[in-house]
Structure formats: C-alpha cells, structure tokens
Structure 1
C-alpha cells in the first residue's frame, strides 16, 4: 500500500474529526508528534506524542460537538512534507442544538505518511462564545 500524501493525511484527519471517528485519529500521528494550538482559549495549548494526542481525541469535550467541513482548500508548499489547510467547521453543540461556524487554518508536516508536527489556528473566541465560555476566557486573559 503506498504511503499517503500529506494532503491525504490532512483530509483524513479533518474528516475523521467531522464524522466523529476520533478513536483511531491518533494513528495518523507519529509517536513523537507535536500539536500546538497557538491561539487557544487562554493561551497556547500543546500535545506531545501520540499518547497525549489519543487522550485529547478521547476527551468528553471532543464528543460534545459535531462538525461538517466546508470551504476546504489545501495548499502545497515548497517543502513536500508541509501542507496548509484552510477550512470552516459548521458546528453543532449536541446538548443544545445550537449551530455556529469556526474558521480554521492548519499548518501540518507529514513524514512517511504520519503527522509529525501540526500548528492549528482555530477561531477559539467563536468557539468559546458558542459554548458559553467567553466570559470565563475574557476573565482569564485579565
């Protein structure tokens, strides 16, 4: 079986999140992978290694939202390992039925078919507002 391209790995990840198949998403990552959310709700958050990434995808908070992928554009770069993906998630809060949209950009390095590094830029303020955490986030920012 041929090694998947960085674009194919990127698509497998975001569509795996959208379809709720999170239990195996950690398999897309190398053992020593790093995922960083530079614009997290209250600062940078990061996961190091496939065990932390597996825990992240297994969290109950991850299952509280459902996503559809829209406006997907994947840009190839001069570095054959790196792709940049732009997309929107049309999201649903399962408990309330509330819908909202989140814009995203992800810069991902894929080597030998596995994600080794990902820099994720999501609109966490829109997410915090949608789930009712905006006052808490603003207070934490001081």
Structure 2
C-alpha cells in the first residue's frame, strides 16, 4: 500500500491508473464527497461531479473510448501556500485506437488532497485536442453518449 499521501504522490498514482485505464481504482482515490470538475467540458460531458460514486460512473464510462493514453510528458507541478493544493501542467500523449492516429492532450489540473484522498480534482483539459483526434461528433458521441447512458441508467 502506498503511504505517501501528499497531493503530488496522489497525482502520480492517479496518472499511473489513468494510463492503465484502471479508472475504477482512480475513483477510489476520491473522498466520499470529493468533486471532479471539468470547466471546459464540451456539450454532453458534465462540468461538475460530486461524490465518489458519481465520479466512478463518469470515469468508468470513458474507459471504452477509442483514446488510449500512452504516456504523460512535461510534468510541471506548482506548489501553493496551501499544502493540500498543487497545480499540475503536463501533456498526455496517445493514439486513437480506431484509426491509429496519434494525439496530444494538454492538461492543467488543480488537485486538493486531504487525509490521503482527493477532495477536488479540477481538470482543465482541452476539448479542442479531443475534437482534433475524434472530430466533434466523435468526441460527443464517444464521451457524452456513453456518459448519458450510464448516469441516467
């Protein structure tokens, strides 16, 4: 079991789980009432999720997308005056499994951790990169359609 509960250690574990598409275990990292915010989410993708189980439903709904993240590059972590909060900048590299086309996804994330759990994960990912990789219809159909079916079920 990992004993380092700093925000940076949680980010590093989350990235490993994301690369492995083990998003159920990523959801387990959230506090029971934690939040996952996606301020730049395109139509069909929620901008705000509250609670571990709602976050789990969203995260597990995206595991079957045709986007496969293969690595993260250029991690730059900014510590803040609040020891619970870090801001991370990096770029995800991967491929579209249905076409083999490579893609890059820039991220800026604010992570707040308390007692070894993620309290807030604010994810400023680029819908433009998703559009470029999948096309507008593909992104909304892939991410938004699966999510609506799972959340409303």
Which category describes the TM-score, using the shorter chain as reference length?
0.7 to 0.9
2:32 — aligned with what?
31
Mapped to 2, the partners of 1:111 and 1:35 lie a distance apart of: 15
| Unpaired runs of at least 5, structure 1 | 138-142
Q: Deviations over 1:111-141 (max 9, x none)?
A: 001011121101111112211116997xxxx
Q: After TM superposition, list the pairs within 5 Å mapping 1:109-124 onto structure 2.
A: 109-124=112-127
Normalization by structure 1: what TM-score? 0.86
Residue in 2 that maps onto 1:140:
none
Deviation of residue 62 (structure 1)?
3.0
Of 58, 61, 82, the residue aligned with 2:60 is 58
Q: Which residue in 1 is equivalent to 2:42?
A: 41
Going from structure 1 to structure 2, the CA distance change for 1:2 and 1:24 (only over 3 Å counts) comes to closer
1:135–1:115 Cα change, 3 Å: closer
Taking the TM superposition and a 5 Å limit, the aligned residue runs for 1:50-129 are: 50-59=52-61, 61-64=62-65, 65-67=67-69, 68-129=71-132
| 1:63 Cα deviation after fit | 2.8
What is the total number of aligned residue pairs between the two structures?
Answer: 136
- Counterpart CA distance in 1 for 2:37 and 2:93 is 22
C-alpha spacing 1:63/1:73, structure 2 compared with 1 (3 Å): farther
Runs of 4 or more above 4 Å deviation = 134-137
Structure 2: stretches of 5+ with no match in the other structure: 141-153
